[in-house]
Amino acid sequence: MASITELKCALRETLEARGVMGKLKARIRAEVFNALDDQSEPRPPLSHENLLINELIREYLEFNKYRYTASVLTAESGQPEVPLDRQFVANELNVVEDPGARTMPLLYGLLSHFLQSRDSKEKLFLRSSAPLTAQKSNTEDC
């Protein structure tokens, strides 16, 4: 007859082999973050920009199989559980993709675009935008 220790080991190995153990650990981490999160200090509303940035990051994390990190990002940021439609994100960023590019996260395509544009010696001029500036001033008190 198998000992309790052997049964625990067999159960752990089975759960790890099925990928369930990692999901459980990620869920526990997310719940711990939720429990520790200071609810008395409300989070600023999720801006449109942060919604898009978080979605780009989530797509990248899931593509690279960083599912635990993605689950914590979703829980901590207030990002919707259901991912945004990729075409919606691409449209919001004014990005047009060829069919082959759709197999990679949008973040890779954006990075590739900027790395290739270095050859033209033109720099991208970044300006602050009102929503990001307003949100930044809210977080400076922390």
pLDDT band at 94 (very low <50, low <70, confident <90, very high): very high
Q: Are 110 and 95 in contact (CB under 8 A)?
A: yes
pLDDT value at 38 more than 70? no
| Interval 3-12 mean pLDDT | 86
The region that residue 61 occupies, defined by phi over 0 for left and psi between -120 and 50 for alpha, beta otherwise, is alpha
C-alpha 122/C-alpha 58 separation (Å) is: 30
Greatest mean pLDDT among 34-38, 75-79, 107-111:
107-111
Structure tokens at 76: 């901590």
Predicted local confidence at residue 129, as pLDDT: 65
pTM over 0.75: no
Radius of gyration of the chain (CA): 20
Q: Which of 20-24, 31-35, 55-59, 129-133 has the lowest mean pLDDT?
A: 129-133
Q: Where in the chain are the domains?
A: 8-117
Question: How many residues are there in the chain?
Answer: 142
CATH topology of domain 8-117: Mitochondrial Import Receptor Subunit Tom20; Chain A (1.20.960)
pLDDT value at 25 more than 70? yes
